[in-house]
């Protein structure tokens, strides 16, 4: 029996199994666009041809279109009227069409487009967002990714209002009519592309540009556009783009193919950035940077996102997706390429131990995203394969599963075949599918065929069709008499209604004390293909009272949940002895988790003691970098702790997590207070505050310094310590140190904290990026050691009433509502009024930005796993939201969350 509220959701589902190629092709498109804030006129002209059809065959031509005002339509230069076509809110259909030229004129009102899809207004002009289905908001067209066309775009606008007119490709003509004040520009993109890669900008912007020479000797113009006041904040982005271009040339032999490459900063943007061919549009958050408004993390994120969008030029643009079910083909592969770019960049020109640490730090940061975001998604009603088999609203599937888990699936191929084998496969993929719309099978086949391993195709493709996180149950047995050691691996995946077939699981392993057993000490790779498999090892010799210690899934060789029962002493041994830095870090994470969730007080004490001893050793270890030490000292986030509770068939109790976590961390800080102070003094002396550098070593030192400061701020602060933190805040010369000092002041919670918040607001109230930080910090960190009975709920309600809360700006909405709904688990769930606020604000957003509303709804993904009081309130909230929401974005999410599965 279905929930009554769910019967409302009857939107048409689209299924992968129903895919059929279009009957039509459109090779060339001409767009004539007369830009106006309130009434933009679009004239689209294109030749539509039937393909693979007999001479007299006809088919209905369905042109997608939404929120358009149709002015007229011509077929082969003859106007047709309403008796010759069928017009609905979603499409324009010409029955029994046999091919010919289409010319359609429409008008749109960008000023009313709050959805930020299609052509819309932001504070400095008009911008587009066409992925996934935004082009249909601009004109009538076959809006699907397997229709590849060459575009020529004529843009006309009042030069005083819109002095910058941009589109994809190369500028081939420009003119200005002094009489009318109209500026006209013609852009031509020589490469076929799907319409989701179309872009247009009409705005009042400044530009920073530089010419570079690419590998083949061609000169290319790089241009960064933003508001004039921000033009000095794009130097880092330009530098990052040049690094990405060189990296793709050197490592992958892929060269920038255009004569001009443009990047535009957009204040109001639903996502991080968009890879439109030759004209990338970026959320200002991921392009503007200087040390006064940007943290180290901001700089690193900008470099990564710049790289990601550039790498799409080949993996996404030159080779695109056949259909939207194949989204991970471009996104998973490009996330992997982005990760490798950042890894290589961070390790460049470092010493051997610093390089090793830098690579491990990046790998760990990527795995943290998988564990803290993707694993919980896999365990929720929103679980889906990296290639879904159905959807109602494709915008709901831009997820960590598609992106980050998709990247891990690509990485497994790299693990199996190594860099050389993977590059052979990439070369084949690029050569075979350049200029076409491909599938996930095409990519996997390319890698396997290039390495003569087609036999792995069917088992590897199961990763694309299976939802949920595979669990690997590991049993170990040591027989000292026979000197034999066995390891049994058993695959388990309970997601879905049918039995999951075994997946291909690459397992990297190494014995940590192999030399004591006269056993090879090199790392090995084992491919688990069966549901259950036992590995047997026989050792030539065996020292008394010692057993082999095996390090498994090194460098996180597969995106799986590992079920392996080790003692606190064994985890400590791994922390101290594993040369694989990922597993060294992972052992510490296991100790944190067990200390946080262990029910037995005696066992919890053992885990905490082992963790404390391990962290003490980390602080004194000179073979690892400061950045890696900082990661070792960083406890798991609430989301990952929650996921582990669910793994143990326990319910998520936000108060339990908060108080247990706080108590454990405070006890560790007390035990290591002296070591923390010594390490803090040492790293502070080696981190000059007056000189701000964003190289990996400097960033690592700041990370460690500020993390130690946070640890010590959890203790009862002395007057001297309060003064130290206050000085650190007011004397900081960069945003990283300023933000971290403010976090510590929020933990301490006194009048100095209030003074710091007032100072921060006064200094940065005019800068949206910095103001978002001020908002996020208070919502996330108030409530830990809050003063004057401050409720985070009250803060949020206050922020929503401020003039600076602009509902059209997704960054501000995420700062206020996203931080509250996702990042302060205890404070959000401890007040019934929070759930009322959740429903109210999401319904409000649903009216004008359904995509943003649906993403915030996802904060209830795990509602069924909460303690009864929270669960009941969350259920009531979902029922209410499902009843009153209008968009299919939100209704699809609520429907899936309320399913009785």
Q: How far apart are CA 378 and CA 462, in angstroms?
A: 16
pLDDT the model gives residue 2: 35
Q: Please provide the DSSP assignment of 223-270 as one string.
A: EEEE-GGGGGG-HHHHHHHHHHHHHHHHHH-----SSEEEEEEESS-S
Angle at 704 between CA 703 and CA 708, to 5 degrees: 120
212-248: per-residue pLDDT in tens?
Answer: 999 999 999 999 999 999 999 999 999 999 999 999 9
357-415: per-residue pLDDT in tens?
Answer: 999 999 999 999 999 999 999 999 999 999 999 999 999 999 999 999 999 999 999 99
Instruction: Give the global pTM.
Output: 0.97
Give the DSSP H/E element, type plus range, for residue 485: strand 484-492
The answer on pLDDT for 543 being more than 60 is yes
760-811: per-residue pLDDT in tens?
Answer: 999 999 999 999 999 999 999 875 444 456 689 999 999 999 999 999 999 9
DSSP state of 372: I
Output the CATH code of domain 20-204: 2.60.40.1730
pLDDT the model gives residue 750: 77
Residue 93 contacts residue 83 (beta carbons within 8 Å)? no
63-73: per-residue pLDDT in tens?
Answer: 999 999 999 99
The answer on pLDDT for 270 being more than 90 is yes
pLDDT the model gives residue 675: 98
Radius of gyration of the chain, Cα coordinates, nearest whole angstrom: 28
pLDDT the model gives residue 785: 44
Give the DSSP H/E element, type plus range, for residue 281: strand 279-283
Reading the block at residue 630, the tokens are 């900082």
DSSP state of 326: G
Output the CATH code of domain 471-558: 2.60.40.1840
Residue 164 contacts residue 196 (beta carbons within 8 Å)? no
Reading the block at residue 404, the tokens are 């980050």
Phi, psi for 817 (deg, rounded to 5): -80, -45
Q: How far apart are CA 381 and CA 870, in angstroms?
A: 17
497-523: per-residue pLDDT in tens?
Answer: 345 799 999 999 999 998 888 888 899
For 665-679, give one letter per residue: b (16+ CB within 10 A) or e: bebbbebbeebbeeb
In terms of Cα–Cα distance, which of 404, 197, 424 is closest to 320? 197
Say whether 471-558 and 322-465 share the same fold: no
Q: Which residues are catalytic?
A: 309
The answer on pLDDT for 496 being more than 50 is no
In terms of Cα–Cα distance, which of 707, 705, 703, 709 is closest to 685? 705
Yes or no: domain 322-465 corresponds to CATH 3.40.50.800: no
For 729-745, give one letter per residue: b (16+ CB within 10 A) or e: beebebbbbbbbbbbbb
What are the domain boundaries of the chain? 20-204, 322-465, 471-558, 564-655
Angle at 579 between CA 574 and CA 581, to 5 degrees: 85
Residue 15 contacts residue 32 (beta carbons within 8 Å)? no
């Amino acid at each position: 029996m279905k929930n009554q509220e769910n019967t409302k959701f009857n939107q048409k589902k689209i299924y992968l199994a129903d895919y059929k190629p279009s009957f039509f092709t459109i090779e060339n498109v001409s767009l004539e666009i007369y830009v106006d804030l309130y009434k933009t006129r679009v004239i689209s002209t294109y030749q539509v041809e039937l393909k693979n059809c007999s001479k007299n065959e006809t088919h209905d031509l369905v042109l997608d279109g939404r929120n358009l005002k149709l002015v007229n339509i011509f077929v082969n230069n003859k106007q047709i009227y309403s008796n010759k076509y069928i017009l609905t809110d979603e499409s324009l259909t010409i029955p029994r069409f046999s091919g010919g030229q289409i010319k359609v004129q429409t008008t749109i009102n960008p000023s009313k487009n709050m959805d930020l899809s299609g052509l819309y207004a932001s504070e400095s002009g008009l911008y587009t967002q066409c992925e996934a289905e935004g082009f249909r908001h601009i004109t009538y067209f076959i809006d699907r990714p397997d229709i590849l066309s060459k575009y020529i775009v004529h843009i006309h606008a009042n030069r005083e209002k819109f002095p910058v007119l941009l589109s994809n490709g190369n500028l081939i003509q420009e003119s200005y009519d002094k009489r009318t004040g109209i500026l006209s520009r013609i852009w031509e993109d020589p490469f076929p592309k799907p319409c989701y890669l179309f872009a247009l900008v009409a705005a009042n912007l400044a530009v920073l540009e530089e010419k570079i020479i690419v590998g083949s000797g061609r000169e290319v113009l790089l241009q960064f556009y933003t508001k004039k006041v921000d033009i000095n904040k794009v130097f880092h982005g330009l530098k990052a783009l040049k690094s990405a271009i060189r990296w793709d040339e050197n490592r992958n032999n892929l060269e920038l193919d255009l004569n001009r490459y443009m990047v535009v900063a957009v204040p109001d943007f639903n996502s991080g950035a968009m890879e439109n061919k030759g004209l990338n549009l970026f959320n200002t958050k991921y392009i503007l940077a200087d040390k006064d408004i940007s943290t180290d993390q901001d700089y690193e994120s900008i470099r990564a996102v710049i790289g990601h969008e550039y790498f799409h030029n080949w993996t996404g643009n030159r080779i695109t997706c056949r259909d939207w079910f194949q989204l991970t083909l471009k996104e998973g592969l490009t996330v992997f390429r982005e990760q490798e770019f950042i890894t290589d960049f961070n390790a460049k020109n470092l010493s051997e131990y610093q390089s090793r640490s830098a690579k491990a730090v990046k790998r760990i940061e990527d795995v943290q995203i998988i564990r803290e975001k993707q694993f919980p998604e896999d365990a929720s009603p929103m679980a889906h394969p990296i290639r879904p088999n159905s959807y109602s609203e494709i915008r709901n599937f831009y997820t960590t599963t598609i992106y980050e888990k998709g990247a891990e699936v690509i990485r497994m191929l790299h693990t199996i075949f190594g860099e050389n084998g993977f590059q052979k496969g990439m070369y084949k993929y690029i050569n075979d599918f350049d200029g076409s719309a491909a599938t996930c099978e095409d990519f996997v086949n390319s890698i396997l065929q290039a390495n003569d391993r087609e036999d792995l195709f069917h088992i590897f493709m199961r990763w694309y069709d299976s939802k949920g996180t595979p669990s690997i149950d590991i049993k170990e047995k040591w027989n000292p008499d026979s000197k034999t050691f066995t390891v049994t691996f058993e695959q388990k995946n309970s997601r879905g209604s049918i039995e999951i077939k075994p997946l291909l699981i690459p397992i990297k392993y190494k014995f940590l004390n192999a030399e004591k057993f006269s056993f090879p000490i090199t790392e090995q790779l084992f491919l688990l293909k069966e549901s259950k498999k036992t590995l047997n090892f026989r050792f030539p010799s065996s020292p008394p009272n010692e057993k082999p210690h095996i390090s498994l899934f090194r460098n996180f060789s597969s995106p799986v949940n590992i079920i392996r029962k080790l003692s606190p002493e064994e985890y400590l041994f791994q922390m101290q002895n594993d040369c694989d830095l990922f597993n060294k870090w992972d052992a510490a994470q296991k100790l944190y988790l067990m200390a946080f969730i262990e029910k037995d007080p005696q066992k919890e004490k053992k885990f905490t003691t082992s963790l404390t001893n391990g962290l003490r050793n980390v602080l004194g270890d000179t073979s690892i970098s400061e950045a890696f030490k900082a990661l070792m000292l960083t406890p798991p986030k609430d989301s990952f702790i929650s996921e582990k509770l669910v793994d143990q068939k326990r319910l998520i109790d936000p108060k339990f997590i908060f108080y247990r976590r706080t108590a454990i961390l405070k006890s560790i800080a007390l035990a290591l207070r002296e070591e923390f102070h010594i390490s803090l003094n040492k790293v502070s002396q080696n981190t000059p505050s007056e000189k701000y550098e964003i190289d990996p070593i400097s960033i690592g030192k700041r990370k460690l310094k500020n993390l130690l400061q946070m640890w010590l701020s959890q203790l009862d602060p002395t007057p001297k310590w309060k003064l130290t933190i206050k000085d650190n805040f007011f004397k900081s010369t960069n945003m990283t140190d300023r933000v971290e000092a403010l976090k510590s002041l929020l933990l301490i919670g006194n009048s100095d904290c209030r003074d710091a918040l007032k100072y921060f607001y006064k200094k940065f109230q005019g800068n949206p990026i910095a103001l978002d930080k001020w908002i996020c910090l208070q919502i996330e960190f108030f409530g830990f050691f809050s003063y004057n009975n401050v409720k985070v709920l009250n803060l949020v309600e206050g922020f929503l009433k401020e003039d600076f809360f602009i509902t059209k700006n997704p960054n501000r909405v995420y700062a206020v509502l996203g931080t509250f709904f996702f990042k302060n688990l205890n404070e959000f769930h401890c007040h019934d009024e929070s759930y009322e606020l959740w429903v109210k604000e999401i319904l409000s957003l649903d009216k004008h930005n359904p995509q943003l509303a649906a993403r915030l709804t996802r904060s209830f993904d795990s509602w069924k796993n909460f303690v009864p009081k929270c669960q009941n309130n969350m259920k009531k909230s979902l029922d209410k939201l499902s009843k009153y929401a209008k968009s299919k974005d939100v209704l699809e999410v609520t429907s899936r969350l309320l399913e009785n599965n």
